[in-house]
Homo-oligomer: A and B are copies of this chain.
């Protein structure tokens, strides 16, 4: 990130870093579209009423006021004020309801946009960042198979980013129904409370979670221990998952013909389908991990978090799940399933830990030298010829000494310098009879015609290296 960015929490990339972010965005978009997702962009603002619906993050909203309203902000109730969106899920829900008549369902959409969190500034927390989301929204109902397919789309997107230094990603999946069925089978009723405490497991440890479960969720020591046992369960195929889960149920007296077990089994079957399908396509890409709870209480089925090999401290870089009740219009519900990548944090990791970097700052492959300011129109004509043929080209800013022009190209990483034929007598350096072009990395210089010359395709490309 650009050093000394003057407002804490609002990261800003230097041009060479932006090349990496742009490459990540382009790559995700390509994968999303290959999978048939439709791109949308929603406005940056929602009403306070819409933003405050969702519990957890309601404290982290930026509200807007027009300059003229300063001092009178409180005349308008918060619900009617405008605020910046803090994620892309709330706006999607609103968009789908608002434009339902114009959409084909199930509506598969991708969206890559900035979001804002009005947090107290603190080390390492972004208050402005980019999210990259995919969701599928059904009208009335939504088949479960999307709970299998969406994490796999994210897996293949993250797989593409490994070329730019991203470590292997593993999706950890769970299912709310499975957890709820198990907790109810144990006799616990505050399901959301239990999920909320379990979600803290990685942060505060098992002992502390056990204490909280007994203190705030009415669990006995034994119930708390059982919840923790469930949270420890992981499996990489459906059969293993079912066997381990059934053993746990038996150990804690949850019988198979109970309502609770039936509910849990429903979740388990979806989860088993996810890991088995994932294993068939990309072994090791998705595992069942029953401690995944996700704090947000709007999830109703599958939940996902994604971790990078060797980067546990980064936390989940791609999270989401199934939500059945986020959007509705009259009696009609719009259930959905989606995942969201915290893109800015990911790019930050790629840049600063994985060592991803642009091979050059400028998109230009060629810098046309200028011998004298009077020759500039000729240099521009050469540049336009190259551009018309798809070769990104810059022209030297001044008719400085040739060494200075080459230094300018070098600073921007432009690999080729073009020497127009119209070398004036007094010019330093080579005075070619016709145009020549020099690869300033290898030093190779050849005669060239701007209507036909082709750069080396590898050298010409602006790309991201590790």
Residues of chain B lying within 8 A (CB to CB) of residue A68: 59, 118
How many angstroms from the CA of A353 to the CA of B281 in the assembled complex? 47
Chain A, residues 75-103, CB within 8 Å of chain B (1/0): the string is 00010001110000000001100110011
Whether, in the assembled complex, A345 has its beta carbon less than 8 Å from a beta carbon of chain B, the answer is: no
Whether, in the assembled complex, A71 has its beta carbon less than 8 Å from a beta carbon of chain B, the answer is: yes
Whether, in the assembled complex, A73 has its beta carbon less than 8 Å from a beta carbon of chain B, the answer is: yes
Within 8 A of B (CB), among A387-407: 387, 390-395, 397-398
Contact B4 A47 (CB under 8 A): no
Contact A34 B392 (CB under 8 A): yes
Contact A44 B116 (CB under 8 A): yes
Whether, in the assembled complex, A6 has its beta carbon less than 8 Å from a beta carbon of chain B, the answer is: yes
Residue of B nearest to A409 (CB): B104
Residues of chain B lying within 8 A (CB to CB) of residue A64: 62-64, 84, 118
Chain A, residues 134-162, CB within 8 Å of chain B (1/0): the string is 00000000010100010000000000000
How many angstroms from the CA of A279 to the CA of B53 in the assembled complex? 58
Residues of chain B lying within 8 A (CB to CB) of residue A41: 12-13, 18, 21
Taking the full assembly, how many copies of this chain does it contain? 2
Residues of chain B lying within 8 A (CB to CB) of residue A21: 41
Whether, in the assembled complex, A74 has its beta carbon less than 8 Å from a beta carbon of chain B, the answer is: yes
Contact A2 B102 (CB under 8 A): yes
The number of chain A residues with a CB under 8 A from chain B is 94
Residue of B nearest to A377 (CB): B277
Within 8 A of B (CB), among A4-49: 4-7, 10-15, 18-19, 21-22, 33-45, 47
How many angstroms from the CA of A367 to the CA of B104 in the assembled complex? 14
Whether, in the assembled complex, A280 has its beta carbon less than 8 Å from a beta carbon of chain B, the answer is: yes
Whether, in the assembled complex, A58 has its beta carbon less than 8 Å from a beta carbon of chain B, the answer is: yes
Residues of chain B lying within 8 A (CB to CB) of residue A145: 373, 376
Whether, in the assembled complex, A328 has its beta carbon less than 8 Å from a beta carbon of chain B, the answer is: no
Whether, in the assembled complex, A372 has its beta carbon less than 8 Å from a beta carbon of chain B, the answer is: no
How many angstroms from the CA of A394 to the CA of B146 in the assembled complex? 12
How many angstroms from the CA of A376 to the CA of B363 in the assembled complex? 43
* Chain A interface, >50% SS class: mixed
Residues of chain B lying within 8 A (CB to CB) of residue A298: none
Contact B59 A62 (CB under 8 A): no
Known: A145-B376, A377-B280, A393-B36. Is A412-B104 also a contact (CB below 8 A)?
yes
Residue of B nearest to A6 (CB): B98
Known: A102-B14, A364-B36. Is A60-B67 also a contact (CB below 8 A)?
yes
Report A126 CB to chain B, min CB distance, Å: 10
How many angstroms from the CA of A120 to the CA of B69 in the assembled complex? 11
How many angstroms from the CA of A393 to the CA of B43 in the assembled complex? 28
Report A294 CB to chain B, min CB distance, Å: 23
Contact A65 B65 (CB under 8 A): yes
Within 8 A of B (CB), among A320-363: 361-363
Contact A128 B66 (CB under 8 A): no
Stretch at the interface among A106-114, A309-317, A435-443: A106-114
Known: A102-B2, A116-B44, A281-B384. Is A15-B109 also a contact (CB below 8 A)?
yes
Contact B387 A35 (CB under 8 A): yes
Contact A36 B363 (CB under 8 A): yes
Whether, in the assembled complex, A380 has its beta carbon less than 8 Å from a beta carbon of chain B, the answer is: yes
How many angstroms from the CA of A370 to the CA of B37 in the assembled complex? 18
Q: A34-B392, A65-B73 are in contact. List 16 more A-B contacts (CB 8 A).
A: A7-B45, A7-B82, A14-B102, A34-B391, A35-B387, A36-B414, A58-B67, A61-B66, A63-B64, A64-B118, A65-B65, A65-B118, A66-B120, A70-B78, A277-B377, A281-B384
Residues of A within 8 A of B (CB): 2, 4-7, 10-15, 18-19, 21-22, 33-45, 47, 58-68, 70-71, 73-74, 78, 82-84, 94-95, 98-99, 102-104, 106, 108-109, 114, 116, 118-120, 128, 143, 145, 149, 277, 280-281, 361-364, 367, 373, 376-377, 380-381, 384, 387, 390-395, 397-398, 408, 411-412, 414
What are some 7 contacts across the A-B interface (CB < 8 A)?
A5-B43, A13-B40, A13-B41, A14-B99, A14-B102, A33-B363, A281-B381
